[in-house]
Each structure stands twice: as structure tokens, then as C-alpha cells.
Amino acid sequence: MHADDFQVRDDLQLTHPPQRMFGACADCAAGRCAPPRQRSRRLFTGLLAATGAASIMPAWAREGVDVGPKSKFAGFVPAEQLEQAGGQQYAQMMQQAAQQRALAPMDHPQAQRLRFIAQRIIPFSYAWNDRARQWKWEVNLLGSPELNAFCMPGGKIAFYYGILEKLKLEDDEVAAIMGHEVAHALREHARERVGKSTATNVVVELGSALLGLGNLGRYAAGLGAQLVNLRFSRDDESEADLVGIELAARAGYDPAAAVRLWEKMMTASKGAPPQWLSTHPTNTTRIRDIQANLPKVEGLYARAPKPPQRFPEAPPLKTQARSG
């Protein structure tokens, strides 16, 4: 498919898209990489590792944000199992998008832009999760007007055209989103949530059986578990914000762009529910937290090689109207 044939579809149909929205819950590292032009959509980790960016970290490698250890709940689920499932789901979504002419081809300027930024960020992911060295990273652009992006377990990244075009994102802001989403995968938040759900279900079933509460008790206990998970997910989002700005800074993108990004998101999400009912921190809360942590990564950004190329903002595309 030619880049001009790529469409944004109001009715893009994906069987199992991630339910969370964005923010909801390698010469590239040296700044000498050209925009990716490989025929494969896969970002081969061997190519990225060739620069030695991850194996020979500079003396300032331990600078940056502090988010503490990973949750112990992640240990309830094998990482390999979740990464394999994520890869299968991702491949299915990309195939379905391609059938609807809503998967950007390799030569699409915005798809090249995303891969260029990803190739600068990925080498710095290894310090956060050694498994990332083995991941078969992929980056794709979907023709949907939604303000969304995600990175599935195993390094499967996708951006929706809507978030690029509607928010008029600059490269530094794209890097903030990508860093945030990659951070979710590196910190294994999906694995934590699945592990926590597994542990909770065991306790609920045991408690219902011991107390004779039956379905009513199981339902009430289930609601309690959901409230616990709300706070847990908000913590994940805050953690991803901080890890994300560090990844962007090390890759040579201005970490302060995350503040501009969330100001744009605040404008786009007016009427959002109160923070205590949401799975995500309010935009004002996360802006404050990001600003408080910027001094920890400003030195990293100042010393990082800057991108040798900047890309234009995503232009409006003709939208395929919803069928029926």
C-alpha cells in the first residue's frame, strides 16, 4: 500500500484492542541514525545493540528518577507467557488494520517518524528491564482518530493517528508519549495487574467458600478488589510518567515536553471524571509530579546527543466515515 492510500477510519474494527487509553492507566543513541528504511516492520534489537549504547553506559548512567522496586505481584505470571500473548494480540490487530487500509505503510512519513524516535529510546530501555534486549520491538501507526498509543509486553508499540494530528505533537512530545508507554512495558505493569488479579481471585474464592457468602459475597469482594486496583493503576501511570521522561531525556528529547503534552491532554479531556473515580491521575496532578522530577533528568538531557533530524507535525488526513 502506498502512503497516500493510508486512511483514518472512524469505524476501525480491532478484535482485541488494549482497553486502556494513553496516559490511562544503534547509532541512534549517538544521534547519527538516519530515518529507518528497512523493509521489515520489526526493529531488530541486534541492530540497536550494535552501537553498544546499552552495554557501555556512561558514568552518569545512574542519574535519573527513582521509582522503587517492581511489584512482587508480577512474579505470579511468567514474563514469557505474557509477552507471547501480547505479540499474538498485536499481530492480529495489525493484520486487521491492514485489511481496512488503516495500517500505515513503511514509507509513511509519520510511521518513519515514530520508528526514528523509537530507535533512539530503545537502547536506554535495557537498564530498566534486561529482558528488553531480547524483545522483538515493533512500531506501527494505526489509522484511528482516537487519542491513544500503547506498548504491549514484549515491546509492541502502536500510535493512533488521532493523537499525533489532533494534539499537533512535536517530536519531543511524541517522545514523551513513547517513553511513557515503553515504561509500562519495562516496568511490567500489565504483568503486575494480571498477577494481582490472579492473587485476588484466589483470595475471593477462598473467602466466599469459608464464609458461605456465595455469589453475593463474591460480587461484593470483587467490587472491593476493583477499588484496590484503581489506586494501583494510578500508581502505574505516575511511575510511567517519570520513567518516560528519563527515557526521553537520555534519547536527546526535551523532558519538559511532557508538561506541554499533558497541558494539551488537559484541554482535550475536559469533563473527565474526578480523580478518585479514575484509574489515572488528573492531568494537573501529573503535571505537578513531572515538574517536580524534571531537575533529576535535566542533566541527562543536557549531555545527551540531540536528534539529527526533526519531523513535521502530522497533517490532517481524510477520514473514512463510519459505515452504516
CA angle at residue 114 from 70 to 310, to 5 degrees?
120
Q: Counting beta carbons within 10 angstroms of the beta carbon of residue 45, is it exposed (0 to 12), middle (13 to 18) or buried (19 or more)?
A: buried
Tell me if residue 279 falls in helix, strand or coil.
Answer: coil
C-alpha cell of residue 301 = 538531557
Q: Which of 138, 181, 192, 237 is catalytic?
A: 181
Contact 237, 286 (CB under 8 A): yes
Tell me if residue 13 falls in helix, strand or coil.
Answer: coil
Half-sphere exposure of residue 37: CA atoms within 13 angstroms, side-chain side: 3
With both helix axes pointing from N to C terminus, report the angle between 189-211 and 171-186 in degrees, rounded to the nearest 10: 40
Q: How far apart are CA 298 and CA 183, in angstroms?
A: 18
Q: How far apart are CA 169 and CA 320, in angstroms?
A: 22
Tell me if residue 140 falls in helix, strand or coil.
Answer: strand
Q: Counting beta carbons within 10 angstroms of the beta carbon of residue 166, is it exposed (0 to 12), middle (13 to 18) or buried (19 or more)?
A: middle
Q: How far apart are CA 43 and CA 268, in angstroms?
A: 32
Can 181 be counted among the known catalytic residues? yes
Q: How far apart are CA 137 and CA 151, in angstroms?
A: 10
The residues, any chain, with a CB within 8 Å of residue 222's CB and separated by 6 or more, are 204
Q: How far apart are CA 231 and CA 234, in angstroms?
A: 5
What positions carry a catalytic annotation?
181
